Amino acid sequence: MTTDVVIIGCGPAGLQAGIHSSRKKASTVIIGKLQNSALHGAHIENYFGISGSADGSDLLEKGMEQALSFGCRHIGMNVTAAAKEGDLFRVTTESGEEIVCRSVIIATGISRKKLNIPGEKEFLGKGVSYCAECDCNFYKGLRVAVIGDESKAAVSSELMTRYASEVYWVSERILADGRLVDKASGAGVKIITGTPKEVRGKANVESLLLTGGPEIGVDGVFIELGGKSSSDLALDLGVMPETDDTLKVNNSFETSVRGVFACGDITGEPWQLAKAVGEGAAAGHYAAKRAKDMK
């Protein structure tokens, strides 16, 4: 599929970007899951025009309805890969669908999802990692566990089979696309249904304890929740994140790479709904303009 603008992320910034991009008559695809937004399940009391408390999930659903009504297409999946190809970009979803576009907007937020279990913080950098792609070389010939339910865990599990001697994928319930699950399983990943309870060890990670289940002997634990992180996507597209994983943008919300835009939490504080919506409007406007100028 070829389109003008691809927006990665279904939070308020991404949805507002979609509304403005499509209203400028640019063909627009929004990729992501509403439930992955930090606004999902939250209560809002400090946004213009809202009296009392508003339900974040309801706002997201209404925002999606608006974007679709203006002509946006929504793909409710995670992104597994992105690449720059000349003046164009190629974005791949977990189902394997590829979308070629003229402008990309990163609106995924920046928070790395944590398990918040004993040992996770203590062994960070000593066997606990949030990025298999970053740290895979350190685990050649060792045993690792990858924790997560979605596409990022599936892709990371398959990746680690090229380095580790044993790879366990620990998941409460697998939500990743079947194609990714089959690929991981076919590569030799051992899938274990369970809930992580504690990361154990002395100087470094030695095991992962599951609730009501076994204690798995491992040398590394990769926590890979949700989809591909914003910093990973940025690097794929040639954009170098700041030290705090935010992306630097200009007045048009364009990054250092022409055609790659960013908005919302990914651009830094304050992490507020009003900021996200405002930046989304501007990013959608300029991304659409860039795409149309290329024609």
Mind listing the pLDDT tens digit for each residue in 191-210? Answer: 999 999 999 999 999 999 99
Packed helices 178-186 and 151-160: angle between N→C axes, nearest 10 degrees: 20
User: How far is Cα 153 from Cα 151, in angstroms, rounded to an integer?
Assistant: 5
User: How far is Cα 74 from Cα 93, in angstroms, rounded to an integer?
Assistant: 12
Instruction: Classify 128-223 by CATH class.
Output: alpha beta
Structure pTM? 0.80
Q: What is the pLDDT of residue 186?
A: 97
Please give the mean pLDDT across all residues of the chain: 93
Q: Which helix (H) or strand (E) holds 177?
A: none
* Stretch 271-278: mean pLDDT: 94
* Stretch 219-239: mean pLDDT: 88
Q: What is the pLDDT of residue 122?
A: 94
pLDDT tops 80 at residue 229? no
Please indicate whether the domains covering 2-111+228-294 and 128-223 agree at the CATH topology level: yes
Q: What percent of the chain stands above pLDDT 70?
A: 99
Fold of 2-111+228-294: FAD/NAD(P)-binding domain (3.50.50)
pLDDT tops 90 at residue 89? yes
Domain segments of the chain: what residues? 2-111+228-294, 128-223
Q: What is the pLDDT of residue 53?
A: 83
Tokens 């076919």, residue located: 186
Convert the pLDDT of each residue in 244-264 to its tens digit.
Answer: 889 999 999 999 999 999 999
Q: What is the pLDDT of residue 40?
A: 86
pLDDT tops 70 at residue 111? no
Q: What is the pLDDT of residue 220?
A: 97
Q: What is the pLDDT of residue 100?
A: 98
Beta bridge partners of 83: 90
